[in-house]
């Protein structure tokens, strides 16, 4: 597979803060880029230039105000800017995974179930999904005695690895990664780099934010620089 | 065209007035099989009136509520006969009240509360009914030894779980929930939410859940509708509406939540 996975055209994002005097924060405008299957693209630019905002817009977690984000899904294309919620949910279930910086903990739900869930919603047998989740947690050095606990009390690094396991468990054709190694030590960083390289080799299109230059150089094929937004004079 | 190619519920320009005041105005949406839709807004925003109109308990002044029936396709629920509507409420629909005492019969046992719904759809075999009641007590995490106890002897959280079991035992296609976690302790809420999440996903239920608690919709709902003064001011994917709210009122609502 080497066809187009994501095609972004004229993408713009402005936050309008109604409760704070209708302040407008223009983040970016007129972004064009494309990502092919099997390549890893790093978003680049100074802090505050909108890297996370762009990643969230790709996942439709943020509403892009203008432009389009066409994503290869099943046998066609879905525009994440304009599609209905149920179409976007189908893309998230089957095509596009997203590893956020922080794990959103669900009360009472054990780590193993959190990791297995993306497989279960795709119809994988719960026992198989759990076994797979265990393999991945073990690979990421999460001790087995923690698997049956809700991750609320885990350390930052453990929570991030649970989040990574959840993001990588299903064979998504597209993966979005927001600083996947920020809270990890060198050993675990290397494991995450391996996971990313394996996915890439399997044809997954990856877009990520990698502050760690060593990881970035190891896994990314190229960078996409977000131009700082310039106010027209 | 099979049933899953069509919405289960289609609401068109639903309007309800109390005197001069609009409780609901021009509300339209489709609910698809397996979809959970949250409706949020402050008290008086019209969300409970909307739920009552959707669940055939309050006739609207304008607009239509179409339901995809098993045998006759899309039907306007307010055009069907009273008998048909009652049958739908017994078989296809569930209704979870905020106060479990409104949805339970307090003078009969826990087991009978569950069994009664089954008998209403024609179950007659005592052993099977009792077995189903036992199974459902287990699914909602109530000790089966309590099957012959009266619900009034249960805690609020147990009563709410019993009400849910009573609703789900007939395998409805759509369940309407009004503040299902309202009035419960936080720890009890978490347990109930987790249970609801699991049941809704495993049964593939369609749900309309009305609440003022944004944490509840974050966990439970795929889609969100924000209501204010009887109108829908914003709707969309739950996480998008909560993380990047567009309307001034939604921004106020989201920014007003106290962080624990």
CB count in 10 Å sphere of residue B35: 23
Q: Is A84 on the interface with B (CB under 8 A)?
A: no
- Where residue A230 falls among pLDDT bands split at 50, 70, 90? low
What is the DSSP annotation of A171-212? --SEEEEESTTTT--HHHHHHHHHHHHHHHHTT-EEEEE---
Interface test with B, best of A18, A109, A150 (most B CBs within 10 A): A18
Predicted TM-score (pTM) of this structure:
0.93
d(CA B186, nearest CA chain A) in Å: 11
Residues of B in contact with A88 (CB under 8 A): 237
Lowest-confidence pick of A48-52, A219-223, B242-246: A48-52
Helices B156-168, B110-120: crossing angle, 10 deg rounding? 20
Residue A233 has pLDDT above 50, yes or no: no
> Chain B contact for A123, CB < 8 A?
no
Mean pLDDT (whole number) for B101-118: 95
Taking an 8 Å cut-off on Cβ atoms, the answer to whether A62 and B240 are in contact is yes
Residue B220 in tokens: 């439970």
The model's pLDDT over B119-166, given as tens digits with 9 standing for 90+, comes to 988 889 999 999 999 999 999 999 999 999 999 999 999 999 999 999
**What local confidence, expressed as pLDDT, does residue B259 receive?**
64
Res B2: pLDDT: 47
Mean pLDDT over all residues of chain A? Answer: 93
Is B255 an interface residue toward A (CB < 8 Å)? yes
pLDDT at A229 over 90: no
> CA–CA separation, B35 vs B41, rounded Å?
20
Q: Answer yes or no: is pLDDT of B89 > 70.
A: yes
- Model confidence at A2, pLDDT cuts 50, 70, 90, reads low
For residue A109, which residues of chain B lie inside 8 Å, CB to CB?
194
Helix extents (H) in A59-148: 85-94, 111-120, 126-139
- Mean pLDDT of the region B47-65: 95
Mean residue pLDDT of chain B comes to 92
Interacting residues of B8 by C-beta distance below 8 A, sequence separation 6+: B31, B32, B33, B67, B68, B173, B174, B206
CA A227 to chain B, closest CA, distance in angstroms equals: 22
How does pLDDT run across A170-222, given as a tens digit for each residue? Answer: 999 999 999 999 889 999 999 999 999 999 999 999 999 999 999 999 999 99
> Scanning the structure block, which residue is given the tokens 């979005």?
A176
Say which of A18, A61, A108 has its CB closest to residue B248: A18
Measured distance CA(B170)–CA(B157) in Å, rounded: 21
Residue pointed to by tokens 């984000």? A69
Give the model confidence (pLDDT) of A15-30 as tens digits.
999 988 999 999 999 9
What is the length of chain A? Answer: 233
Contact between chains at A85 and B236 (C-beta distance less than 8 A):
yes
Percent of chain A with pLDDT over 90: 85
The nearest CA of chain A is from the CA of B100 a distance in Å of 23
How far is C-alpha B107 from the chain's CA centre? 24
Q: How many CB atoms lie within 10 A of CB B6?
A: 15
For residue B244, list chain A residues with Cβ-Cβ distance below 8 A: 15, 56, 61-63
Please name which of B234, B197, B201 lies closest in space to residue B217, comparing C-alpha atoms: B197
Min distance A17 CA to chain B CA atoms (Å):
8
- Tokens 């006739």 locate to B59
Residues of A in contact with B32 (CB under 8 A): 86
Considering only CB atoms, A19 lies closest to which of B32, B240, B255, namely: B255
What residue has token string 């049964």?
A: B203
- Report the C-alpha gap between B11 and B224 in whole angstroms: 15
Percent of chain B with pLDDT over 70: 97
């Amino acid at each position: 597979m080497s066809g187009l996975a994501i095609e972004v055209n004229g993408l713009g994002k402005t936050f309008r803060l109604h409760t704070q005097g209708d302040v407008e924060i223009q983040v970016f405008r007129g972004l064009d880029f494309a990502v092919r299957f099997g390549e890893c693209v790093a978003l680049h630019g100074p802090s505050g230039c909108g890297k996370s905002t762009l990643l969230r817009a790709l996942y439709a977690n943020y509403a892009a105000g203008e432009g389009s984000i066409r994503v290869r899904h099943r046998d066609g294309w879905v525009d994440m800017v304009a599609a209905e919620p149920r179409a976007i949910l189908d893309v998230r279930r089957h095509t596009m995974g997203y590893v956020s910086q922080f794990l959103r903990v669900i009360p009472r739900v054990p780590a193993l179930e959190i990791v297995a869930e993306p497989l279960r919603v795709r119809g994988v047998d719960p026992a198989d999904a759990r076994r797979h989740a265990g393999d991945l947690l073990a690979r990421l050095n999460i001790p087995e005695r923690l698997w049956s606990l809700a991750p609320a009390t885990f350390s930052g690094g453990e929570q991030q690895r649970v989040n990574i396991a959840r993001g990588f468990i299903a064979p998504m054709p597209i993966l979005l990664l927001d600083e996947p190694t920020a809270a990890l030590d060198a050993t675990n960083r290397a494991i995450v780099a391996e996971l990313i390289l394996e996915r890439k080799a399997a044809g997954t299109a990856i877009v990520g934010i990698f502050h760690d230059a060593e990881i970035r150089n190891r896994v990314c094929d190229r960078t996409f620089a977000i131009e700082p937004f310039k106010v027209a004079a | 065209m099979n049933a899953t190619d069509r919405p289960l519920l289609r609401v068109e320009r639903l309007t309800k007035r109390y005197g001069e005041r609009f409780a609901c105005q021009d509300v339209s949406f489709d609910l698809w099989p397996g979809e959970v839709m949250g409706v949020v807004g402050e008290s008086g925003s019209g969300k409970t009136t909307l739920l009552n109109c959707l669940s055939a308990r309050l006739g609207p002044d304008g607009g239509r509520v179409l339901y995809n029936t098993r045998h006759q396709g899309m039907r306007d629920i307010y055009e069907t006969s009273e008998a048909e509507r009652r049958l739908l409420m017994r078989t296809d629909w569930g209704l979870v009240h905020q106060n479990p005492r409104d949805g339970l019969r307090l003078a009969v046992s826990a087991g009978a509360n569950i069994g009664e719904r089954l008998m209403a759809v024609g179950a007659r075999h005592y052993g099977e009914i009792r077995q189903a009641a036992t199974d459902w007590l287990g699914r909602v995490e109530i000790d089966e030894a309590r099957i012959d106890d009266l619900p009034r002897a249960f805690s609020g959280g147990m009563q709410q779980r019993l009400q849910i079991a009573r609703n789900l035992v007939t395998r409805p296609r759509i369940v309407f929930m009004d503040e299902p976690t309202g009035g419960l302790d936080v720890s009890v809420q978490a347990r109930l939410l987790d249970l609801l999440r699991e049941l809704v996903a495993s049964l593939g239920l369609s749900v309309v859940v009305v609440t003022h608690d944004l944490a509840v919709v974050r966990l439970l709902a795929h889609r969100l509708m924000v209501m204010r003064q009887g109108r829908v001011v914003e709707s969309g994917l739950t996480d998008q509406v909560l993380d990047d709210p567009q309307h001034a009122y939604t921004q106020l609502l989201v920014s007003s939540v106290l962080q624990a």
